[in-house]
A and B are shown apart, each in its own frame.
Chain A
Amino acid sequence: MKTQGKVTGIISNLVVVEVDGPVAQNEICYINLAGTKLMAEVIKVIGKLAYVQVFESTRGLRVGTPVEFQGHMLEVTLGPGLLSKNYDGLQHDLAKMKGIFLQRGDYTDALDFDSEWDFTPLVEPGTQVIAADWLGEVPENWVKHKIMVPFTFTDKYTVKSIVPAGKYKVSDTIAVLVDTKGEEFKVTMYQKWPVKKAIIAYKEKPRPSKILETGVRVIDTLNPIAEGGTGFIPGPFGCGKTVLQHALAKQANADMIIMAACGERANEVVEIFAEFPHLDDPRTGRKLMERTTIICNTSNMPVAAREASVYTAMTIGEYYRSMGLKVLLLADSTSRWAQALREMSNRLEELPGPDAFPMDLSAVIANFYARAGFVHLNNGSNGSVTFIGTVSPAGGNLKEPVTESTKKAARCFYALSQQRADSKRYPAIDPMDSYSKYLEYPEIQEFLNKNISENWVELVMKVKNTIQQGREASEQINILGDDGVPLDYHDRYWKAEIIDFVILQQDAFDVIDCNTPLARQRYMLEKVMQICNTNFHFDGFEQCSSYYKRMINTLKQMNYSEFQSEEFYNYEKELDTILNERRVQ
């Protein structure tokens, strides 16, 4: 028997329901508004009163409206067919919704229950299995989608029977498992899981030891993110958070990309809808959309579903990780989720923390970031969820609760600087303020030196040092004037500018420059550092600046050319000629 209730109060999307039976915190219920079901989640209970946040507009709702509780928390449906889908924050398929406008209560299925999938069994009857073990697989786009023992199965099981290879629907039984007490369970190709709970059906979560190549030079070269690592991108509006996330989605070396568009612009999601089906995955040559799933709760969609959207995305990520895949999860922007928490906390009249955010904001954020990670699965394979979120600090001030809480939780910090954005130095990641904790991990250092070049980490430190020296020189020039400092200061300043223009800056809208594979990053960095280690002779600072500008111009042309093409080498020759003009032997 499901618990029933009646609406007794309405404040915007916070609704009070008097219940006739047990309810659980975070339980889902449906408010039956004249035949339209509005989904809601319990967020507080006092006596017989359940306070629920409604994932829809409550316009027209009246006291006395019947409510039915579902006996489970907010869940996602996991199975073949998730890839390439566009969902709302509660995992309803946007493509299946009717009409131009989103109608309340138009809850569509997450999976296509009518399609058939080519199933191949991976176990035989008699095999011992536990939760998340692979029973079979079906091809989904280019991924071998594993059909797993449901994560909710807590016992040890023996496979009693498994269907032969063939075509099946997601709801068909593909295996029967028997637990230690002899009870039988039918397993289909899909399962459900509550989004707020981490999926921990893996053997262990070691420290990340590899980097995830993104093709973005200022990340990979200066502050790389680990596979299974966490990072965040705070920045004032217009500084390039979304462009950077889209670049990561297009280029990162991941098997699957999940993009949670959380409380931001609809047109930015439309851009993905429009472009990804046509863009090639640089690694597989397939279309980008084939490896992408979008969870879309844009700023005009229900506020309460923003929080759900990031959890939905994370849960789908964990599901694919359990198949031994490399998942990259991107959320833009996690501040909107925090704001949604704030709106509700205020309506509940909870004691507010800093900037009226809920007191437990830090804990909520830390718990979420902790779900990312590189894992060893029970069967010896590895999978990972790498998570990068954006943060939209109020007034661009990084001393605000969401940025500060996230800084404690994430290991990479990519601070976008207003100043760099204003001078169109994109991506506007500040090279000195930003950091990657992974660069300090011995296992990551070893990986970089082994996979890029022998003294790579040392070289990167030198780059940072050169940038720092350039900054100091620039400050002195600003204080004392061009003539007031030794020529050497100008030289140092311009060496840092070369790094800035050629390595740090990258045109996200140029077909070639947008994506730089590691081999090319190495080539260009070594080239640039070679210049930085060269002494030049100048007669005055004006000569110095125009000389460096010429070099920058030629190096940029190299960046715009196909790597190692004739054009590329021509520019390189031109550069060598310039170098020889003023090199001190």
Chain B
Amino acid sequence: METKVFQRIYTQLTGITKATVSLRAQGVANEELAMVHGRLAQVVKIMGDIITLQVFSGTEGIPTNAEVVFFGEPPMLKVGDDLAGRFFDAYGHPMFGDSEIEGEPREIGGPSVNPLRRKQPSELIATGIAGIDLNNTLVTGQKIPFFADPDQPFNQVMAMVALRAQADKIILGGMGLSNDDFLFFKNVFENAGALDRIISFVNTTEQPPVERLLVPDMALTAAEYFAVEKKEKVLVLLTDMTLYADALSIVSNRMDQIPSKDSMPGSLYSDLAKIYEKAVQFPDGGSITIIAVTTLSGGDITHAIPDNTGYITEGQLFLRTDSDTGKVIVDPFRSLSRLKQLVIGKKTREDHPQVMNAAVRLYADAASAKTKLENGFDLTEYDERALKFAHDYSEKLLAIDINIEVDAMLNTAWQLLAKYFSKTEVAIKSELVEKYWPAN
């Protein structure tokens, strides 16, 4: 932040906690930024002339006579075409000692789009991954997280999706990203020759956790600039939102707020919704699509973070390793794209919805057969076929290393259905069966 003439300077703190400092000051605005002992802080509470500031990097070593300088404005990001191809920290400062960018300062965490000015999303995002395109089709303007245990290759899948998505800009918001993962993203984007389309805001594990709280707002402010002003298709990648939520709980605990479920703040739903709801399709072509990562612990989706996320996002993509084939798959039961019905059978072939449902239903039959097997019961002839189908389905369609077009996915699905089942067992509308049932 640059120094400005009207800055007010104070040197007497009246209180210090792990995350906040308080002091007497006048004329301070809610949510305005300040520098406390050289660290960035934000006003979170005002009572009379007592101001409470949240210090992003923590209060360790701050003395009571620390210098406090108020900036008179909330957190800002300079936006402009200059953003493209650059790496920034959580405060929006260029990394690697780069020079500051040229641009117009914008408040981050700005207002919401009037719902009447949105357009209903209708543009398919093809990823080549059948577990996504066939079963959980994505659409521009959608917000969807990967739910994955920490050992799943979610960042790799996300990078792959991002590069295939044909977005005008890809904005990476990294929160608590390990340095290795950060370098992974950097390399993948570089190798793909896509760096000029990429903008990154990164808080790594080496930096203070509370700083992460600024990352999504920074990324989305940049996204809004390109989507609104440049009418571009912007894809925002947020990883890992669980670490973001952890930072929220650190702050609220230190501020003595009453925690609700899983020691998360009672406002977790609203806090996450404010971020995810920035996903939008504008009528004039610009859009913001958000793909996030929410890491789970032990696959538990009832924990407050995935639970609140699921209530907010438009579905979730659940990654797991299939013991049958040893491949990482997009789990068809627990994954969902809520916007798929806007495109499947409309932007894709007419048989898409029914083929998708039939295959998932038969895959479920295989799952029950497997349970039977595990409980020591005999399998019927149908069960045997279902299990074989499941194996092929997992290998040829669900695995994340698949990269084919949607029509090819549908053809593969018909092949598998016909190979293992009769027409009545498949139970698809007869007119579609007539048309697409493979001849051989």
The chain A residues found within 8 Å of chain B, CB to CB, are: 8-12, 16, 57-63, 86, 94-95, 97, 99-104, 236-238, 263, 265-267, 269-271, 273-274, 296, 298-301, 303, 336, 339, 342-343, 346, 352, 355-356, 392, 394-397, 422-424, 478, 481-484, 509, 541-542, 545-546, 549-550, 552-553, 556-557, 560
- Interface-centre pick from B47, B266, B307, B425 (highest chain A CB count, 10 A): B266
B116 contacts the other chain (Cβ, under 8 Å)?
yes
**How many angstroms between the C-alpha atoms of A86 and B259 in the bound complex?**
35
Q: A266-B115, A298-B115 are in contact. Are A482 and B312 (CB under 8 A)?
A: no
Shortest Cβ gap from B384 to chain A (Å): 12
* Chain B hits for A556, CB < 8 A: 427
* Chain B hits for A422, CB < 8 A: 333-334
Cβ-defined partner of A553 (8 Å) among B47, B270, B381, B424: B424
* Chain B hits for A99, CB < 8 A: 114, 117
B422 nearest CB neighbor, chain A only: A546
* Chain A hits for B381, CB < 8 A: 542
* Chain A hits for B117, CB < 8 A: 99-100
* Chain B hits for A423, CB < 8 A: 333, 361, 364
Taking a contact as CB atoms under 8 Å apart, the answer to whether A298 and B30 are in contact is no
Shortest Cβ gap from A552 to chain B (Å): 8
Q: A62-B30, A339-B270 are in contact. Are A266 and B120 (CB under 8 A)?
A: no
**How many angstroms between the C-alpha atoms of A355 and B425 in the bound complex?**
47
Shortest Cβ gap from A500 to chain B (Å): 13
Taking a contact as CB atoms under 8 Å apart, the answer to whether B378 and A100 are in contact is no
Q: A100-B113, A299-B312 are in contact. Are A395 and B307 (CB under 8 A)?
A: yes
**How many angstroms between the C-alpha atoms of A238 and B312 in the bound complex?**
10
**How many angstroms between the C-alpha atoms of A296 and B118 in the bound complex?**
13
Taking a contact as CB atoms under 8 Å apart, the answer to whether B118 and A270 are in contact is yes
By the criterion of a CB under 8 Å from any partner CB, how many residues of chain B are at the interface? 78
B52 nearest CB neighbor, chain A only: A11
Shortest Cβ gap from B222 to chain A (Å): 16
Q: Per-position contact with A for B411-440: 1 when CB-CB < 8 Å, else 0?
A: 000000000000011010110000000000
* Chain B hits for A300, CB < 8 A: 112, 273-274, 277-278
Shortest Cβ gap from A104 to chain B (Å): 7
Cβ-defined partner of A238 (8 Å) among B107, B315, B364: B315
* Chain B hits for A62, CB < 8 A: 27-30, 46
A423 nearest CB neighbor, chain B only: B364
Shortest Cβ gap from B81 to chain A (Å): 20
Cβ-defined partner of A336 (8 Å) among B269, B277, B314, B353: B269
Taking CB atoms and an 8 Å cut-off, the chain B residues in 299-339 that contact chain A are 302-304, 307, 310-312, 314-316, 333-334, 336, 338-339
- Interface-centre pick from A265, A424, A550 (highest chain B CB count, 10 A): A265
**How many angstroms between the C-alpha atoms of A86 and B117 in the bound complex?**
12
* Chain A hits for B118, CB < 8 A: 266-267, 270
Q: Per-position contact with A for B254-281: 1 when CB-CB < 8 Å, else 0?
A: 0001111100001101100110011010
Taking a contact as CB atoms under 8 Å apart, the answer to whether B260 and A355 are in contact is yes
**How many angstroms between the C-alpha atoms of A243 and B269 in the bound complex?**
21
Shortest Cβ gap from B304 to chain A (Å): 7
**How many angstroms between the C-alpha atoms of A58 and B110 in the bound complex?**
12
* Chain B hits for A270, CB < 8 A: 115, 118-120
7 contacts between A and B (CB under 8 A): A9-B47, A9-B48, A59-B29, A101-B111, A352-B258, A395-B303, A396-B302
Q: A101-B114, A266-B113, A273-B115 are in contact. Are A392 and B311 (CB under 8 A)?
A: yes
* Chain B hits for A269, CB < 8 A: 115
A300 nearest CB neighbor, chain B only: B277
Q: A300-B277, A343-B270, A422-B334 are in contact. Are A94 and B260 (CB under 8 A)?
A: no
Q: A9-B48, A355-B260, A424-B361 are in contact. Are A483 and B120 (CB under 8 A)?
A: no
A99 nearest CB neighbor, chain B only: B114
* Chain A hits for B375, CB < 8 A: 478, 481
* Chain A hits for B115, CB < 8 A: 86, 94, 266, 269-270, 273, 296, 298
Taking a contact as CB atoms under 8 Å apart, the answer to whether B116 and A61 are in contact is no
Taking a contact as CB atoms under 8 Å apart, the answer to whether B114 and A97 are in contact is yes
A422 nearest CB neighbor, chain B only: B333
* Chain B hits for A552, CB < 8 A: 427
Cβ-defined partner of B357 (8 Å) among A9, A103, A355, A424: A424
**How many angstroms between the C-alpha atoms of A346 and B257 in the bound complex?**
7
The chain B residues found within 8 Å of chain A, CB to CB, are: 26-32, 44-49, 74, 107, 110-121, 141-142, 228, 257-261, 266-267, 269-270, 273-274, 277-278, 280, 282, 302-304, 307, 310-312, 314-316, 333-334, 336, 338-339, 341, 353, 357, 360-361, 364, 372, 375, 377-378, 380-382, 424-425, 427, 429-430
* Chain A hits for B28, CB < 8 A: 62-63
Taking a contact as CB atoms under 8 Å apart, the answer to whether B29 and A61 are in contact is yes
* Chain A hits for B378, CB < 8 A: 481-483
B309 nearest CB neighbor, chain A only: A237
A397 nearest CB neighbor, chain B only: B302
Taking a contact as CB atoms under 8 Å apart, the answer to whether A238 and B112 are in contact is no
Taking a contact as CB atoms under 8 Å apart, the answer to whether B228 and A9 are in contact is no
**How many angstroms between the C-alpha atoms of A396 and B12 in the bound complex?**
49
**How many angstroms between the C-alpha atoms of A557 and B364 in the bound complex?**
22
Cβ-defined partner of B29 (8 Å) among A60, A352, A356, A542: A60
B284 nearest CB neighbor, chain A only: A100
B371 nearest CB neighbor, chain A only: A478
**How many angstroms between the C-alpha atoms of A234 and B85 in the bound complex?**
46
**How many angstroms between the C-alpha atoms of A545 and B333 in the bound complex?**
24
Cβ-defined partner of B377 (8 Å) among A101, A397, A481: A481
Taking a contact as CB atoms under 8 Å apart, the answer to whether B112 and A481 are in contact is no
Q: A238-B336, A270-B120, A560-B429 are in contact. Are A265 and B277 (CB under 8 A)?
A: yes
Taking a contact as CB atoms under 8 Å apart, the answer to whether A100 and B277 are in contact is no
A100 nearest CB neighbor, chain B only: B117
**How many angstroms between the C-alpha atoms of A59 and B46 in the bound complex?**
12
**How many angstroms between the C-alpha atoms of A500 and B167 in the bound complex?**
43
Closest 5 pairs between A and B when the two form their complex, measured CB to CB: A299-B273, A300-B277, A395-B302, A481-B377, A237-B310
**How many angstroms between the C-alpha atoms of A271 and B141 in the bound complex?**
13
* Chain A hits for B274, CB < 8 A: 299-300
Shortest Cβ gap from A95 to chain B (Å): 6
* Chain A hits for B310, CB < 8 A: 236-238
Cβ-defined partner of B45 (8 Å) among A11, A339, A395, A557: A11
B376 nearest CB neighbor, chain A only: A481
Q: A265-B277, A265-B312, A557-B429 are in contact. Are A301 and B74 (CB under 8 A)?
A: no
* Chain A hits for B48, CB < 8 A: 8-9, 63
Taking a contact as CB atoms under 8 Å apart, the answer to whether B228 and A100 are in contact is yes
* Chain B hits for A541, CB < 8 A: 380
A96 nearest CB neighbor, chain B only: B116
Taking a contact as CB atoms under 8 Å apart, the answer to whether A267 and B121 are in contact is yes
Taking a contact as CB atoms under 8 Å apart, the answer to whether A343 and B45 are in contact is no
- Interface-centre pick from A86, A267, A481 (highest chain B CB count, 10 A): A267
Taking a contact as CB atoms under 8 Å apart, the answer to whether B46 and A356 are in contact is no
* Chain B hits for A424, CB < 8 A: 357, 360-361, 364
**How many angstroms between the C-alpha atoms of A260 and B36 in the bound complex?**
44
* Chain A hits for B74, CB < 8 A: 59-60
* Chain A hits for B110, CB < 8 A: 101
Q: A58-B30, A60-B32, A549-B427 are in contact. Are A86 and B116 (CB under 8 A)?
A: yes
